Structures are given as C-alpha cells and as structure tokens.
C-alpha cells in the first residue's frame, strides 16, 4: 500500500535541502535578479499585449532558468525536467539583495580558449570566412548557412612538451589545433570578482583587448597584472595615458635585482585569474554549443555572471565568520 503524503512532507524536504546546502537558496539571499530586468526587457522587446495571444513568461524567471541551465551544464530538455522535478529549483524565486563589493587593489587580466562544435569546411570556404565573406555555395542555402559558425576560428594552442618515457625532453613544445572562441576577463585583486569581460574568436590577440575596455577605472588601485601576451608599446602608451601602472620588465633592459626577487610574488598574484577559469570549467563546463559570436558572447557572459554569484556566496560566508 502506497503511503499517503503528509501535510508537512514538502516543508521537511525543503528543510533538508537547506541543511544540505542548497546553492540556489543561497543565490536568493545574495543576488538581486531584478537589476537585470531593464536589460532583459530591452533585449526581448515584448509587445504590449494589445493584440491578444498568450502572455509571455516573466523575463527574470527565464533568466533564472538560464542560470540554472548554465550552472549545471544542462540541455534544454534536461532543464525542463529538473525545473519540474526538483524542489530546490522551484524555490529559486525570492526577493534578493545585492552584496555590492567595490573593485579594489588593482586589475588582473587574462584570457582562455572556449571550445565550440567543430566545423568541416573546405580550404576555399576557410579563406572566404577569414576574409569576412560568405562562401558562394552557402548563399543560396539558408538552412546550411544557419548551421555554419562563421565567427569561430582555428588557432594553434601551444602546450609544454612532456617528458618521454626514456626520460628525455622534446626540443619543441606541442601545437594543438583548437576551434572556438576566447574569453577575456579582468578581475579585481581584492575580491577576485570579474569586473570587465569580452568575447572574441579564438585567434584574436590577447594584448589588443586590453585597450578595448578590459580595465576598470573605478578600481581603487591603478596597478595592472598581466602576462607577456599583453606587453606592447601600444599598451604601455595606453596605460600611461589612462593612468594605469603595469608590472612588466622593460624591453631589452636588465631586470633590477629587487624586481627579480619580487617576480615570484607577482606570479602568485597573477595566478588568481587562472583560478577563475578553472572554477568556470569545472563548475559550469565552459563550452559553446551555439552558432555565432552573438550567442557565444551570451553563453560566456552568463558563465561570468554565475561565477560572480558563486564568489558572492563565498565572500558572504567569509564576512559572516569574521
């Protein structure tokens, strides 16, 4: 005989979820999702409903669903199932507050490659795409064109050569072809929150992105930590003009001994941005399944927002324990 559910079964299950550490409930206590409402309304451009028809879903609710989907690396079908199946997902809808941490202690910049579904194009088609043209064979085939990613690129990803079984070290590093996009971010050193970000194709230069809005002028410290990919005269001139200070070795000049001693400390500081990428790839499975840079930007941007949400939770716990 099947036991009839009791009056307090739902409340007991919700209490158990809270006891186990419901991350969605923690988001609800930390993040004010209503701040996204103006941008969502502008992007969706819903009608006023004067012509009738089914009313649209609440844009903030749909944004929360996208957060759930990205956080758990779910397909559309799996997301729909879990929304209807799990109480922890259904409870993700309270009035939230903004934690509000100011960017402090300088900027740390870096970029990482984000894989996308590989395209099988001919050499002639690749040439057309690199030059910004639509291949002739695709122009009269809209169905085929809609499935072709014209923005992702094939750069070479260099990795350090590994020691062989006989103990010898190869003379050259490994070059592995990679297809997709690149996520550029700038975090503040104090709280390690993503303050600025940008999405480009995977072949785009890291250094040139520094001059495209990755530095946050509201940061309380003007120091910039970045690797050698960002070192160039154009970037030095830009940072000097904008009032930023870079931690870089002067070109073709010997490095002072006191700066040599501080290199280890600088590497530790700069490595904080690598922790951000590692967290994103382990928690949300950072991977683009869509076609085109517009949707890739949305996917990467949403992953950045979710990282900040999770970081907020950690900062809140640290402050509560202090």
pLDDT tens for the chain, 322 residues: list them: 444 555 445 455 556 555 545 566 666 666 677 777 777 777 777 766 667 666 666 777 777 777 766 766 666 655 554 444 444 333 333 333 345 567 768 889 999 999 999 888 888 888 888 888 888 888 888 888 888 888 998 888 877 777 777 778 777 777 888 899 999 999 988 888 888 889 999 999 888 898 888 888 878 788 888 888 888 888 888 888 888 877 665 555 666 777 677 777 777 888 889 999 998 888 777 888 888 888 888 888 888 888 888 888 888 888 888 6
Structural domain that includes position 75: 9-90
Half-sphere exposure of 126 (CA within 13 A, CB side): 10
Q: Supply the CATH number for residue 262's domain.
A: 3.30.420
33, 130, 177, 187, 225 from 203: Cα distances, Å: 34, 11, 11, 22, 22
Quote the pLDDT of residue 86.
40
86 and 156 in a single domain? The answer is no
Evaluate whether residue 142 is within a structural domain: no
195 and 295 in a single domain? The answer is yes
173 and 254 in a single domain? The answer is yes
176 and 221 in a single domain? The answer is yes
Evaluate whether residue 121 is within a structural domain: no
58 and 173 in a single domain? The answer is no
233 and 274 in a single domain? The answer is yes
Quote the pLDDT of residue 18.
58
68 and 207 in a single domain? The answer is no
Q: Which residues of 240-273 are buried (b: 16+ CB within 10 A; e: fewer)?
A: eeeebebebeeeeeeeeeeeeeeeeeeeeebeeb
Evaluate whether residue 141 is within a structural domain: no
Evaluate whether residue 47 is within a structural domain: yes
Quote the pLDDT of residue 11.
59
190 and 268 in a single domain? The answer is yes
158 and 301 in a single domain? The answer is yes
- Please give the model's pTM, rounded to 2 decimal places: 0.69
What gap in Å lies between CA 88 and CA 94, rounded to an integer? Answer: 12
Evaluate whether residue 123 is within a structural domain: no
Evaluate whether residue 20 is within a structural domain: yes
Strand runs (DSSP E) across the chain, as ranges? 107-115, 156-159, 174-177, 180-188, 194-201, 223-225, 245-246
What's the number of domains the chain is made of?
2
Evaluate whether residue 51 is within a structural domain: yes
């Amino acid at each position: 005989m099947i036991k009839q559910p009791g009056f307090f079964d739902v409340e007991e299950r919700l209490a158990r979820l809270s006891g186990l550490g419901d991350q969605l409930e923690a988001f609800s206590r930390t993040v004010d999702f209503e701040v996204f409402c103006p941008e969502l309304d502008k992007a969706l451009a819903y009608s006023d409903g004067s012509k009738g028809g089914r009313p649209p879903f609440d844009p903030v609710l749909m944004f929360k669903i996208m957060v759930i989907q990205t956080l758990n690396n779910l397909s559309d079908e799996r997301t729909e199932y879990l929304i209807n199946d799990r109480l922890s997902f259904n409870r993700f809808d309270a009035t939230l507050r903004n934690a509000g941490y100011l960017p402090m202690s300088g900027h740390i910049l870096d970029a990482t490659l984000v894989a996308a579904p590989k395209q099988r194009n001919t050499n002639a088609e690749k040439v057309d795409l690199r030059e910004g043209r639509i291949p002739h064979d695709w122009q009269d085939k809209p169905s085929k064109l809609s499935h072709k990613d014209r923005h992702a690129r094939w750069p070479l990803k260099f990795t350090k050569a590994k020691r062989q079984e006989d103990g010898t070290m190869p003379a050259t590093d490994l070059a592995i072809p990679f297809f997709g996009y690149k996520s550029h971010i700038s975090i503040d050193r104090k709280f390690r929150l993503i303050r600025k970000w940008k999405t480009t194709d995977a072949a785009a230069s890291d250094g040139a992105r520094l001059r495209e809005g990755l530095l946050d002028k509201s940061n309380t410290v003007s120091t910039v930590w970045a690797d050698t990919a960002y070192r160039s005269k154009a970037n030095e001139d830009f940072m000097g003009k904008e009032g930023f200070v870079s931690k870089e070795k002067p070109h073709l000049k010997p490095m002072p001994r006191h700066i040599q001693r501080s290199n280890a400390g600088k590497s530790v500081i700069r490595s904080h941005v690598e922790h951000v990428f590692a967290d994103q790839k382990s928690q949300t499975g950072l991977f683009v399944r869509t076609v085109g840079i517009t949707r890739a930007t949305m996917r990467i941007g949403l992953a950045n927002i979710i990282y900040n949400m999770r970081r907020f939770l950690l900062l809140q716990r640290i402050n509560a324990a202090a």
